[in-house]
Structure 1
Amino acid sequence: MTALRLGPASFRLRRRPLLVVAVALVALAALLVVGIMIGDFPLSAAQVVDVLLGGGTRRDQFVVTELRLPRALTGLLVGSALGLSGAIFQVVVRNPLASPDILGVTWGAGAGAVSVITFAGSLGVVTGSAADVGLPAAGLAGGLVAGLLVYALAWRRGIEGFRMVLVGIGITAVAANVTHYLLTVGDVQDAGRAMVWLTGSLNGRGWEHVVPVASALAVLVPVALAGGHVLGALQFGDETSRGLGVRVDLARSGLIVVAVVLASVATAAAGPITFVALATPQIALRLAGTARPPLFGSVVIGGVLVMLSDLVARTIYRIELPVGVVTAVLGAPYLMYLLVRSRREARV
């Protein structure tokens, strides 16, 4: 273990978490190239790398930069945002079940985004402009409303993990029913597009989907990493955190807002890709061997998980599956495992 000093601040660097991040970054680069190679016009790895470095033919440049690179980057960025969001939630709530999927944030963002999809035509809004501006904004607003509701309803002189999870399950049910209601009252064609979006898909993603998620990560990842010491204190409980000089309520509220914004923007870009935010922090925790989910490790592993799932979804069958189907199939057994383990720990 080594120490890194930046002015008055110092950071401990452990070899194992750094090794995990390094390996995950290599895996990200490999998955990015492989994901761009696959399609109706197959490309070799050399052709993909040549285009990414500024070369290649016009056809290769068009296929890579306009058709496949935006999709791959959207998957990478969405997975990173969900991984970081889940890590923050699980540390703040001190519960491995805490994630945007369970706490209602994802479905809240979904309800906001579906309202734009289903009513864009009836309000005279051009679909393209709605996707560029209205969809991310509505997803962000819906996620923020759901997150604030969960926090307000779960507050009882502090936040207790299981109470927040139970409240989140209730908000999830309400937001899901609102979403289904919007689907029934909207135009049939718009409702069909919304149903495809609700499965969580990277199909047809363009640069207009990359920019909002990239912007959110560029701002919020440094904020989250800067608050890493606060997360380290919060895992010991409110009284201990206050004894360490942490303004618990303010710190917790700020970190939850960061997590909600990340999950909402990711959901608005690619739909509710379930279980990524739930599983990624626990995978990063076990790989890194740390006391709490590592933030940057969760960022990188989240990108790996979504890109790998999308690659499986595109190649396992003759038809292309939404990436959310693969993550749901893999994540549902993991959720049941967490529930069983939490119940056993509660009995001890």
Structure 2
Amino acid sequence: MSEDAFVPVHAIKGRGAATRLAHRFAKDERSAFDDGWGTLHETQAEDEDLPPVATEVRFEDVKSVLTGNESPDIYFERSLNPYRGCEHGCIYCFARPTHSYLNLSPGLDFETRLIAKRNIAQVLRTELGRRAYRPSSIAIGTATDGYQPIERELRLTRSVLEVLQECRHPFGLVTKSSAVERDLDLIAPMAAQRLAAVYVTVTTLDGELARKLEPRAASPQRRLRTIATLAAAGVPVGVSVAPQIPFVTEDMEQVLEAAWAAGARSAFYTVLRLPWEVAPLFHQWLALHYPQRADRVMARIREMRGGKDYDADFATRMKGSGPWAQLIAQRFAKATRRLGFNRERFEMDLTAFRPPGAAGQGSLF
């Protein structure tokens, strides 16, 4: 029998998922059943009085940290993520299914049972120092946010930036957190050397919706202030208005206008992706928060995915296909063109790279 305890399906304060949904490799799955004796309702009432679900952090020593990318629809060649799982709890996160490989739930476990790669800086130093290594911009936080709450104490993302600064290695990072401002002492000087750029995700300006979608991320207004702070420090900053969810995130143009006013000068978007266990988790989320429009939302999502919840085809997985996907693309293109986004391409300097001394050079001097 699965060790995952049954959690009644109701919104859990501060969490995106409502259940420890069984992962796809589990042999058994538990679900609620109304036996007619009222026990289901009694269990739900008792569970609502339980204390909040606590966050646990485990540590691991990894053998490698740089992940290569060969997907034609992704702009970066290498990525790095200091953490597995993310306390921000974004219900739409496409990285949730990765917790299945750890024998953990992509639901509550993904946002409450976190894995910290405590030796990430040492391993990165070794990888950058290999004789065959050739620099290309490293994307940080592409799966899980490098500035989620536990970064305040663990400082693993900062340790990565310190190695990159030492080696003069270019990077770009994506975050929803204002905590990135803490590391401006590293980021701003590197940006001045064309070695750093930051992208802040602002899914919506609706604070109530953001608390449901991304319960432990910074508020939309706080993220806009982060964009302004980064821009004022001379950091090239962009905005991600991803993911676009039909009939849920309806203020793309307003987000782009606010981000432009704050200082962002590049922008991109994707449409909602529902791979593996993300689909049933999102279904639960819709039923909890927007039951009246759940069918309409899923109909539009399937319309963009050839009638399915998700289609992993490289040609369409980021932007979808069909009339609704075309409408979103047209709205984005019109708004960014009107505001002035993406007119200048920020090129990273790959020529400044120097291997780290301890791992990358054999000199005795």
TM-score of the pair, normalised by structure 2 = 0.26
- The structure whose residues are more often helix, as a share, is 1
TM-score of the pair, normalised by structure 1 = 0.27
Task: Name the larger-Rg structure.
Answer: 2
- The structure whose residues are more often strand, as a share, is 2
